[in-house]
């Protein structure tokens, strides 16, 4: 029996590598890894594991038709930060405001996402399409918070998928939680006080979904493709903790006392120079919650249980002598 084909876009990234590795372990699936650089170390490692590595670029629609040929499933994750970071650095060097970087990254990401959607819709063998999404701070706040464009880019692509006459009938969405590696989830030593603390512009009682993207994304995507009906919107997480609980678990794992300190986005902007691209969405979360009101399915509601490691287990595997010395 011929294997089904899953095309993984961005197969060398955090989420894509997890999807590729998960499906490489399923004997009924053939993994086609789409990357802009097939000769990279990460690409060659996937090829050594049995993936078919092909060159493709979301900015070049002509490269996608061949890459998507005979696909039964496609996983898509688009990238805002690959354009935003260098664009902002260039503006910073010129002493200019960073807002233009956000607009440039928004335009790039939404164009790439729409290119992928259009190409996927032309594949007659396609059965499932999974997109890695974010919720719109502008939508949930009814236009109050609009300066964080990275969630808006993905929300724009979601709207494009949902409005598509054919692909919308095959599509599901995965909304990953905050990455375990997010610096905001890890207390830092304050040399002046000798204490560890997280300074964050979110209330300590805000519940945050947390995921290890390189380990867990693939298992959730497999569930969406093999077990769940099209149209499923999954909030994917390993743990769902308040920020106070995050700090408590870090303290227990590290053996170091740590504190959670709530600051304002204004302070982070004016005193630390963080851009509103990062901060405006935090104000939306404070007021409206983290994905509250988006109507998402949670892991415990899936038809088959997806087993992943908790945030606490991930902390327990760290080498704390190295972590704390760094």
Per-residue pLDDT of 154-174, as tens digits, reads: 999 999 999 999 999 999 999
80: which strand partners?
A: none
Per-residue pLDDT of 42-78, as tens digits, reads: 999 999 999 999 999 999 999 999 999 999 999 999 9
Contact (CB, 8 A) for 305 and 228: no
Number of domains in the chain: 1
pTM, rounded to two decimals: 0.95
Per-residue pLDDT of 278-306, as tens digits, reads: 999 999 999 998 887 778 999 999 999 99
Domain span holding position 223? 4-325
Q: Indicate which CATH number applies to the domain containing 184.
A: 3.40.50.720
State the pLDDT at residue 326.
Answer: 62
Alpha-carbon span 220 to 302, nearest angstrom: 9
Alpha-carbon span 82 to 269, nearest angstrom: 22
Q: How far is CA 5 from the centre of its chain?
A: 23
Q: How far is CA 262 from the centre of its chain?
A: 25
């Amino acid at each position: 029996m011929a294997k089904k084909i899953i095309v993984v876009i961005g197969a060398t990234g955090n989420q894509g590598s997890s999807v590729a590795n998960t499906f490489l372990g399923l004997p009924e699936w053939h993994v086609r890894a789409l990357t802009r650089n097939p000769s990279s170390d990460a690409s060659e490692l996937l090829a050594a594991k049995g993936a078919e590595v092909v060159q493709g670029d979301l900015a070049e629609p002509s490269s996608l038709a061949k890459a998507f040929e005979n696909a039964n499933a496609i996983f898509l994750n688009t990238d805002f930060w690959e354009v935003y970071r260098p664009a902002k650095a260039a503006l910073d060097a010129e002493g200019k405001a960073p807002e233009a970087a956000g607009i440039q990254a928004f335009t790039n990401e939404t164009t790439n996402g729409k290119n992928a959607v259009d190409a996927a819709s032309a594949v007659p063998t396609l059965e499932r399409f999974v997109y890695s999404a974010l919720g719109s701070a502008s939508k949930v706040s009814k236009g109050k918070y609009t300066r964080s464009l990275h969630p808006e880019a993905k929300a724009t692509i979601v709207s494009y998928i949902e409005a598509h006459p054919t692909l919308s009938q095959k599509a599901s969405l995965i909304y990953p939680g905050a990455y375990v590696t997010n610096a905001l989830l890890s207390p830092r030593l304050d040399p002046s006080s000798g204490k560890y603390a997280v300074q964050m512009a979110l209330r300590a009682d805000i519940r945050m979904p947390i995921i290890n993207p390189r380990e867990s994304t693939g298992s959730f995507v497999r569930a969406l493709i093999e077990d769940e009906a099209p149209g499923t919107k999954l909030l994917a997480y390993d743990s769902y903790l308040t920020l106070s609980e995050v700090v408590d678990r870090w303290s227990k794992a590290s053996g170091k006392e740590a504190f959670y300190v709530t600051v304002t986005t204004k302070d982070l902007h004016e005193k630390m120079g963080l851009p509103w691209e990062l901060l405006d969405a935090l104000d939306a979360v404070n007021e409206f919650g983290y994905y509250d009101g988006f109507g998402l399915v949670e892991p415990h509601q899936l038809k088959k249980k997806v087993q992943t490691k908790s945030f606490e287990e991930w902390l327990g595997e760290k080498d704390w002598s190295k972590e704390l010395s760094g």
